[in-house]
Amino acid sequence: MLFPLSKDFSSSGIFQKGGEHNQRPIKRVWTIDHTGSKDRTKELHLLLTDQKPYKHHERLAARRAQEGKKQDDDTLNAWKDHLRDMYQRIDGEAEGRRQEMYSQMRAYKRRNAASDSNLKQTLRDQAKDHLDFLKDMGGRVNSMPPLGSPEPLRETRERTQARKDAHKGVIEQTKDYKQAIKSLNSELDKRGPQEWTAVPRPSNETIQSRRKAKGLAELTQKKEDYESTLEAMMDREHQRVTSERREMRRQCREADLRLSQEKGDLLKSLNDTQAMKKAELDGIQARVNGRGNGRPDHPEFTGYATAGYTPVEKGAKRLRDHAAERADKDANHAESAAKLLTLSVPLSMRNRIVAAKPPKHMASLSGTGIDSPMEWTEMNWTQRWALISRHAPQNTIQKAHEKAGVDAQGKELTMSPTANQQTLSPRTLGLTQTS
């Protein structure tokens, strides 16, 4: 029994009642899934709320355990009484069946004895009749005259008729016997098991043949069921495949129509774009062909400053780009040139120079024109180029000028063919990562 105040205490599983068991349990197993469990839980809650001593809990648990034990004893006694009554009923039924079998055996022996006595009496009667016939025939033979004597007396008409009637009677009796045997066999074949006084045990061959026939019938039925199941499965699969193919063909037709429409739209847009580009190129070519010549020795020379190009109306995108460049803080010419030159120096070279001559040391800033030390990230592009050009090799500085397209004297932007950044705006170059 579990103590009600253990650490595994549960108010819904304290007082429990055992059920019916095949053998008496050694220790009670408390369960709360029986009648009265709620009352027991209520009693325990009352003890807990009233703060009764532990002795009260023990007495309550012992009293409930005695009640449960008494109920188990009553259940066990009732089960034993029921088992005893069942045994008595079974013994009485067995004794009745035994007496019935004995009575059937005695009746069978009486019928068998009567049948044997009747057979013996019939055989005695037949033997007596045969002996009487032989005696009668021997008397008649003895009364006949010797051979070669005058012609013996002929058989009378009555005796001849009697002999013929006896022969016909034997034939009719034989037919009746055969018909009776046939009727008896048919009745025996038609009777059920309850009509047998003693059911004969079938032979092994009969049992095997019956089991074989039953197994073949079951196998045939299962085969037919399996074939019908396969046919139904094939029909369902055929319908599914047909529906899927129909749906696939429909989707393919829709895809083909959609693809042809998209192709037509694409060709139309390409034609429109090509026509627009061609018109734009034709306009540019016409404006180029209509410009004046800038060579002094040419008869149509109109001046060096004139390019002979008729300006066109600026679009919204170009106006936005110009506004962004005007608003860029790095849009001044000197700062942009310094930025181009700094970015033209390879990143590895810049990292080596900054690591060897950090700008936060005053000794590294001698000859650069920078008065106070600072971090590399706090320097502007002009200060960065001053540091790089002070400590970088001369060939690196020359390559940077050639690559950036910047004049070394006044840091003016030139349209050198080798300048890779000449098509980039200062605003675009300002977005470049320099870390």
**Opening angle at CA 170, ends 164 and 174, nearest 5:** 150
Q: Is residue 399 part of a domain?
A: yes
Spell out a b/e string for 405-433, using b for 16 or more CB atoms within 10 Å of the CB, else e: bbeeeebebeeeeebebeebebbebbeee
Last residue within a domain, chosen from 263, 287, 312 = 312
**Quick one: 283 and 229 in the same domain?**
yes
**Quick one: 133 and 231 in the same domain?**
no
**Quick one: 241 and 278 in the same domain?**
yes
List, as one string, the DSSP characters of 221-246: HHHHHHHHHHHHHHHHHHHHHHHHHH
Neighbours of 14 (CB within 10 A): 24
Residue segments in the chain with a per-residue pLDDT below the cut of 50: 1-7, 9, 11-19, 21, 32, 304-309, 408-435
**Opening angle at CA 38, ends 33 and 42, nearest 5:** 145
Q: Identify the pLDDT of residue 409.
A: 44
Q: Is residue 296 part of a domain?
A: yes
Number of domain units in the chain = 3
- Which amino acid, one-letter code, is at 384? R
Last residue within a domain, chosen from 312, 341, 361 = 312
Q: Identify the pLDDT of residue 243.
A: 93
Q: Identify the pLDDT of residue 306.
A: 46
Six-digit token string for 13: 């599983």
Question: What is the pTM assigned to this prediction?
Answer: 0.25
Identify the CA nearest to 294 among candidates 311, 309, 310, 306.
306
**Quick one: 33 and 78 in the same domain?**
yes
**Quick one: 277 and 351 in the same domain?**
no
333-344 and 394-404 helices cross at what angle (nearest 10)? 120
pLDDT in tens, 168-219: 999 999 999 999 999 998 887 777 666 666 667 778 888 888 899 999 999 9
Q: Identify the pLDDT of residue 412.
A: 44
Last residue within a domain, chosen from 283, 312, 341 = 312
**Quick one: 286 and 358 in the same domain?**
no
Q: Is residue 388 part of a domain?
A: yes
Give the list of residues 6+ apart from residue 368 with CB closer than 8 angstroms, or none. Answer: 383, 386, 387, 390
Identify the CA nearest to 54 among candidates 105, 129, 3, 18.
3
List, as one string, the DSSP characters of 29-85: ---SSSTTHHHHHHHHHHHHHHT--HHHHHHHHHHHHHHHHHHHHHHHHHHHHHHHH
Q: Identify the pLDDT of residue 28.
A: 54
Rounded Cα–Cα distance for residues 218 and 145 (Å) = 82
Domain enclosing residue 227, as ranges: 211-312
Q: Is residue 150 part of a domain?
A: no
**Quick one: 25 and 108 in the same domain?**
yes
Q: Is residue 66 part of a domain?
A: yes
**Quick one: 355 and 400 in the same domain?**
yes
Neighbours of 350 (CB within 10 A): 19
**Quick one: 123 and 35 in the same domain?**
yes
Strands of 23-151, DSSP E = none
Q: Is residue 176 part of a domain?
A: no
Rounded Cα–Cα distance for residues 428 and 430 (Å) = 5
**Quick one: 373 and 341 in the same domain?**
yes
Six-digit token string for 197: 């006084």
- Which amino acid, one-letter code, is at 350? R
